[in-house]
Structure 1
Amino acid sequence: MEIAQLRYFVALVDTGSMTRAARRVHISQPAVSLALRQLEDELGVALYERQGRGLRITADGLRFYRRARAILDEYRAAKSELRETAYGRPARLGVLRTLPPHWIAGITRRVADSGGPPLQILEGTPPELAEWLRQQRVDAVFSDIALNGTRPCQQPVQRDRFVAIVPVPHALAGQSSIDLMDLHDQAYVLRTHCEALPEGNEIFKAKAVRPNIVCRTGRDALAVALVESGFGVTVLPECLAAGEVKVLPIRDFARERQLGIEWSDAADARFIDILIQATEPEASRAPA
């Protein structure tokens, strides 16, 4: 019996679906199915039964689920205790608040899986993250490092351009790209927390683009959901585009972010090595 098999089974019970379980643990569905069949063979019982397109956890499966969760909890606690002893204290990671939540969740899991220290996460704006790093309130940040200039303690991860997103049933959805003027008079969801907002406002004014602002929000999830529902359109970093929306490059708005890791000179080199591996390349990974 392996820890991975326990993780797969707990994910299956928690999600109620082989597909969702595979997505949670980031391996293929056939690999999850094979591992669970091998687990059942070793235990000598059926842990679940297929019912049409769904599945049902058996009585033996429910009993084993409680044991499996307890084992995983103890395993994680032991790893955390040993990691903290090895590193002396948790590592503090500042993250840009306009990053997708599944990126941050995935990074924390991969750092733990690689034997890194326990993490403390602080979320902030680019200026806040830069100041925290200067004051050594954090050991490293995952941010738009282009705003801080080139420094030796940096590792670029990927570029992230700003794009427009529109509902799938929308007049602009049939285009492959747009100009900013195409957003003139469009119902527009304004992301008030966007780090590019001052620059964007100036460009909109210079081009006489005046969208019809129908919502102001500091939450990216709400902005995307409103676009998906047909309420309006918005401009955001491409990494945040999700759901049933059409992503449109903007020909006359070349703003992009250089996402990457920047760290303090005093940061533990072992942690930085693990962190770099855990973040690159983030866009190629499936959601957590």
Structure 2
Amino acid sequence: MLKSTLEQWRMFKAVVDAGGFNQASAVVHKSQSSVHHAVQKLENAIGVVLFENSGRKVKLSPQGELMYRRASFLLDEAQKLESVANSLRYGTETTLRVAADIIFPSQLLYNVLNKVSQEFPLLRVELEETVLSGTNSMLSSGNVDIGISPFPYPSGFSEDLCEIEFAAVAHKDHPLHQLDRVLTLEDLKSHRQIVVRDSSAERKADAGWLGADQRWTVSHVRTSLDIIAQGLGFAWLPIAIIKKELESGTLKPLPLNNNAALRKTLLYLSFEDGDALGPAARSFIGELRYQAMSLPSSDFIAMENGACDP
């Protein structure tokens, strides 16, 4: 028979996370005495001192630090268990929450969502557009069910989904194109680079070459495209997004040596717990996998415009 309860462990974790018994009582909506009693009863039940006396501050004992890590895992698993139970209880979910990095082809994503909506007409879809580590940040905070990200998800499930091709481009009249020769990365340093800001709260990730002395940082790839189309800088942009501009000649790939103008980024399909996903989410994943397999290669666009010249 268990000597402790999930509620006691929840009170213990709340005290640690909040930084004290008074703060924890506000978080869990219980009196300070109730929280303190629950933790004291837990310590008596398991025979382990969880906190050390440190004046007014709450400090974990060495044993408490170990128990905190294990309790956090236990409570997380308990929450997942209830999520699975809710999925089984209610059947089809009413809302599908997806976070997709802005470099993922939007038309393909719309097609997948439309197919799922036809299968589940009452389904509400919440789509979050993210940049770099933004998707994984939303997954870890529980704000979305499924994510498409350029980084694998460390605490859940991730699988390779597709590769996205990038080309270094500038307006056809940009000074870099006026050099009329093969360029090196050194040539780029004296010109403005447009980069897209990480959308996660921590904004830790950077991607692509960042060697330019002058950079403009924007929040969306469409803003970057608009700036580039006005001749105000250069950037590595997804070929699928700039296909029309490349074909019309408004934008031209930079003739960098050693194929440096072309890059590929792997995108991952990620989620926290497959057992907690409902029928609509599973249908979305299946359709996404199927349609992602049909993504065409776009290298020929860049090659035709001279990006791969020796």
TM-score of the two chains, using structure 1 as the length reference:
0.51
Q: Residue 180 of structure 1 contacts residue 253 of structure 1 at CA under 8 Å; is this kept in 2? A: no
- Equivalence map 1:237-248=2 (5 Å): 237-242=238-243, 243=245, 244-248=250-254
Q: 1:270 to 1:193 in 2, by over 3 A?
A: closer
Q: In the aligned structure 1, how far is the partner of 2:153 from the partner of 2:261?
A: 21
3-state secondary structure, aligned to 2:206: helix
Aligned position for 2:221:
220
Partners of 1:177 and 1:109 in 2: CA distance: 44
Aligned to 1:260: 268
Among 136, 146, 161, the alignment partner of 1:140 is 146
Question: Percent identity over the alignment?
Answer: 14
Match of 2:302 in 1: none
Where does residue 168 of structure 1 map in the other structure? 172
d(CA) in 1 for partners of 2:108, 2:204: 20
Q: Deviations over 1:233-272 (max 9, x none)?
A: 1223444434231234864588642113212321125532
Query: In 2, Cα distance between the equivalents of 1:131 and 1:219?
Result: 17
Per-residue Cα deviation, 1:174-232 (whole angstroms, up to 9, x for no partner): 9898542231212433433488963546x62xxxxx3444x442232122122122222
Question: Secondary structure of the equivalent of 2:224?
Answer: helix
> What residue in structure 1 maps to residue 112 of structure 2?
107
1:70-114 Cα deviation digits (max 9, x unpaired) = xxxxxxxxxxxxxxx961321211222444544443332232235
Cα 1:150–1:133 change in 2 (3 A) is closer
Q: Distance in 1 between matches of 2:118 and 2:222?
A: 28
Could you say which residue in structure 1 is the equivalent of 2:101?
96
- Consecutive unaligned residues in structure 1, runs of 5 or more: 1-84, 205-209
Q: CA deviation at 1:165?
A: 1.1
Q: Deviations over 1:16-55 (max 9, x none)?
A: xxxxxxxxxxxxxxxxxxxxxxxxxxxxxxxxxxxxxxxx
CA contact (8 A) 1:129 1:141 kept: yes
Secondary structure of the equivalent of 2:173?
coil
Instruction: Report the CA distance between 1:168 and its aligned residue.
Output: 2.2
Structure 2: runs of 5 or more not aligned: 1-89, 298-310
What code does the residue aligned with 1:218 have? S
